[in-house]
Structure 1
Amino acid sequence: MIITKTNQPVKRGALLALLLVSVFVLNAQTKVSTLKFKTFNNLVFLKAKVNDSAEMTFILDTGASSCVLNESTSKKLGLKTVSGDKVDTGGGDVDAVYVKNAAIEITSDFTLKNLSLAVIDLSGLEKSIGEKIDGVIGYEAFQNAVVKIDYQNKLLTFFPKDKFVYRGKGEIIPFVIEDVFPFVEVKLTSINGIETQAKLMIDVGGASNAISLYTDFVNKNQLIKANSPTIPLTYGAINVGKSTGEVGRLKTLQIGKIVYQSPLVNFSQTTQGSETDTSYAGILNAPFLSKFTCFIDYQKKQLILEQNASYNTLLEFDMSGISLIASGENLDIYTVRQVLNNSSAAKADIRKGDIIEKINGKPSSAYRLSEIRKMFSSKRNSIITLQLRRADKFLVKKITLTKAV
């Protein structure tokens, strides 16, 4: 998901990209701090406090050039806001206001101060991910500490940036910082064997497959044709369903000396917003980064990757043919927003707008959206029974999970 001020030509990230605001040196991390986190769709969810509030839920994101607060959270806290520019979310513009001189306490030893928090409506993101989100912690955290993300053990560590020395055996990959965003050079090899160099933004807040490639880069290199079969789909986090493209696989993705086999890829065909940017090729997303313990060091401009136990497990795309969106107070009502053509769901006559009531006899509200997505992208050839509500009718449909790409 992308957000940037519409009158400011800056690079955009895959989750959030906002105009950088003043961050003072007093934010610098002076002690090592470690905290637990949770993941949903491979995104890092952590607890933090805003201006001495109770703990709230934030997403960590290298693709956000500033910290962000959900509009509903700002209202709940009664924070004073000032007007600001519209921002581009990749799928269209949304309004934003700002909270000045704010503080976000990540741990008792690490607080980001003197922030100008962009306040926007994140309800679309919540519905897309299926979790409550109070905000996003972006560039300011990475500017002031070396950040270690241990995806396997769900541990987040902030090291003092001036004292950090890496002594492990991971792959050390240099990156450049442009408009506060980190970019790395990779080599992509298509299914038909054509090699292409690509400049990708490192985005721990990008939830869409291993990498996302932007429209101009995809079309110039004829990547959809070179990597067939692909599947057309619509997507988008804040502005749900406003982006279009196809999903498929490359033969390999090489970053440093690491050669990752058969990565899942979004090939964008979106004609507005950040995915039309021609200055870089796309995004290196969280599903790929989650295969490693990652050290992100803005001071030395290096990404360090240590393979974890999930490295050799192939990332799978949805096998049901159903794209869901969450709603309701607890985000546990699941509505079909898209059915992929020729999929098992299409053959079972599941339709856009159907509401899933039960999955294999169990109430759908017993699952989080990320759990349903995981279920629908694993155990190939297994049969899933869905009880659906369509208007005033209840229907029972069976689908067979079928590998599409």
Structure 2
Amino acid sequence: MKRKILHIILLLFFYANSYAQDKFFILGNDNSYTVSFKLINNLIIIPIEVNDVKLNFLLDTGVDNTLLLNLTLEDSLRLKNIEEIRLRGLGEGEYINAIKSKNNAFKLGKIFNKNHMVYAIHSQDFDLSSRLGIDVNGIIGGDLFKNFIVEINYTTRNIKFNNPSKYTYKNCKRCEDFELHFYQNKPYIYATIDVEKEIPVKLLIDSGGSDALWLFDQSSVDISIPERHFNDYLGRGLSGNVYGKRSKIKKIMLGSYILENANVAYPDFNSIENAYKHEGRNGTIGSEILKRFRIIYDYPNKRLTIKKPSKYFKDPFLYNMSGIEMAHNGNVVVGEREVEMAKVYGNQNEQATVQLVYNYVYALKPSYRIAEIRKNSPAHIAGLKQGDVVLKINGKPAYNYKLQDITYLFSSKNGKKIKLLIERNEIEMLYEFKLKMPL
């Protein structure tokens, strides 16, 4: 009897101890769980409840820990065990202030963690929401991937989380397996690029980067910036803007899969100085390439599998030919006219007259501004400036577009005419330019 009681106590101790760990698991007895995601500018956005508050997170294999980006939510989230710290990320800026918080409850459907640690960013400059046109309150990556075998299907926009101890790989003729290498808990794979000759490269897998490929200039004797390139804004990191040069690459080879004429960017050293500290790294493979496959991330067994191509596999690699980086600029109140009723006047001997009675319904609509503009681009030459508020695009109200629709429009067709009605210093001005390939 004593032995049985001792056995029960030990089991309870083990359960309590494991439950207190910072670990994600599937509630119930299910061996897998599938969730849907939104795909915005190649990036995966998933809904997660943090301390019972519903938020949106960017799923990013390029980060190890979980970040919260909106400190106005701090009180409602009731962050626990707070500690002030300093962080440094990509960008030309310095360290930024942050809050480290332990024992927070994270819930993604049946995916649960009662004791999760997060880093909450003070700075309001790192604003994913304005660049994506959807509220994004945080970034989650390695913390979630390391506890599961994760299958991502970009075609159906579903993610399946599998219990590693119950998962069985199926025979797959069109699959390519890669060994995952980890540095500072971030995943890397070896691939091959063709720049005049074939070169093996070690690349960070970054599902949180919307570009196809970044290469680090001089990270190999065979890697250098080609003569045909143009300067551009590449994105924003935790520590500021990232600038660099864009060009094309002949091929990138992932096993037997070959992607030709892919876009490549060469970030400036000052923007990514910390990334160069990993001497074996040659660059980054981003979601513009990742979305072209069905992918299985197996962190526990250090394995990556790319399965048959997704519906995006044959999509061309496009450039933003306008030179404009658009951002969300809050909301505007717009009155929309609706027919409330129709009144008919007249009798049997007279011609009937119909009078429509209108009612105005007011709604909040998105407003957009020019966040960045590339020097000597078509938009810059036309006279547009950073900070201009865009009112109309080709004669249509800008609020009728989603941000990713505008991005696609600016990448759509060489020579396409674009008309922008903008507001600058409370004055409306009309500008016109044609999209032009920068290379």
TM-score category of the 2 structures, normalised to the smaller one? 0.7 to 0.9
Residue 24 (str. 1) matches residue 39 (str. 2): no
Which residue in 2 is equivalent to 1:153?
156
Partner residue, 2:186: 181
Report SS of the residue matched to 2:269. Answer: coil
Q: Which amino acid aligns with 2:403?
A: L
CA-to-partner distance for each residue in 1:329-386, whole Å, 9 max, x for gaps?
5893322233323322133222222221111222212223222111111133222211
1:389 aligns with 2:396: no
In structure 2, distance between residues paired with 1:204 and 1:402: 28
Instruction: Identify the match of residue 326 of structure 1 among 328, 331, 348.
Output: 328
TM-score by length of 2: 0.79
Letter paired with 2:175? G
The offset of 1:299, in angstroms, is 2.0
Correspondence 1:6-405 to 2 at 5 A: 24=21, 27-29=24-26, 31-51=31-51, 53-70=52-69, 71-80=71-80, 82-91=82-91, 92=93, 93-108=95-110, 110-120=111-121, 121=123, 123-167=126-170, 168=172, 169-190=174-195, 193-207=196-210, 209-217=211-219, 221=222, 223-225=224-226, 228-238=227-237, 242-272=241-271, 273-279=273-279, 280-306=281-307, 307-328=309-330, 332-405=366-439
Sort the Cα spacing of 1:26 and 1:267 in 2 relative to 1 into closer, same or farther, 3 A.
closer
| 1:390 positional shift | 1.9
Task: State how far apart, in whole Å, the 1-side matches of 2:428 and 2:20 are.
Answer: 54
Distance 1:333 1:182, change over 3 A: same
**What SS is found at the alignment partner of 2:371?**
strand
Asked if 2 retains the 8 angstrom alpha-carbon contact of 1:251 and 1:262, the reply is yes
How big is the shift at 1:251? 0.6
Distance in 2 (CA, whole Å) between partners of 1:269 and 1:63 is 19
8 Å contact kept, 2:81–2:103: no
CA distance in 1, matches of 2:237, 2:278: 22
Q: RMSD of the TM alignment (CA)?
A: 2.4
The corresponding residue for 1:14 is none
**CA 1:50 to 1:316, structure 2 compared with 1: closer, same or farther past 3 Å?**
same
Moved more, 296-305 or 283-292: 296-305
Instruction: Name the amino acid aligned to 1:201.
Output: L
**2 CA distance for matches of 1:215 and 1:74?**
40
The amino acid across from 2:397 in the alignment is: P
Structure 2: which amino acid aligns with 1:27?
F
Max Rg structure:
2
Secondary structure of 1:370's aligned partner = helix
SS of structure 1 residue aligned to 2:325: strand
CA distance in 2, matches of 1:215, 1:331: 43
In structure 2, the CA distance between the partners of 1:23 and 1:64, relative to structure 1 (3 Å rule), is farther
CA-to-aligned-CA distance 1:68-91 (integer Å, 9 cap, x gap): 222233333232452232111211
Q: Which blocks of at least 5 consecutive residues in structure 2 are unaligned? A: 1-18, 332-363
Q: Which letter maps to 1:137?
A: I
Q: Structure 1 residues 77, 384: closer, same or farther in 2, change over 3 A?
A: same
Mean Cα deviation higher: 172-181 or 24-33: 24-33
Cα distance in structure 2, aligned partners of 1:251 and 1:331 = 42
- Structure 1 distance, partners of 2:245, 2:65, is 30
Letter in 2 for 1:340: R
Q: SS at 1:288's partner residue? A: helix
Q: Is the 8 A contact 1:81 1:97 kept in 2?
A: no
- Bigger drift between 393-402 and 118-127 goes to 118-127
Distance 1:104 1:76 in 2: 14
The residue that corresponds to 1:6 in the other structure is none
Conserved 8 A contact 1:63-1:138 = yes
Using the TM superposition, give the Cα deviation of residue 43 of structure 1 relative to its aligned residue in structure 2, in angstroms. Answer: 0.8
Q: Which runs of 5+ in 1 are unaligned?
A: 1-21
Distance 1:33 1:65, change over 3 A: same
Tell me how far apart the structure 1 counterparts of residues 240 and 423 of structure 2 sit (CA, whole Å): 22
SS in 1 for 2:75: helix
Cα 1:278–1:48 change in 2 (3 A) is closer
Which digits, 9 at most, give the CA deviation of each residue in 1:103-161, with x for residues without a partner? Answer: 211122x2123211111146422233332112122212111111111111111111111
**1:298–1:278 CA distance, 2 compared to 1 (3 A):** closer
**Larger relative contact order (CA 8 Å, sep ≥ 6):** 1
Deviation at 1:216, TM superposition (A): 4.6
Percent identical among aligned pairs is 25
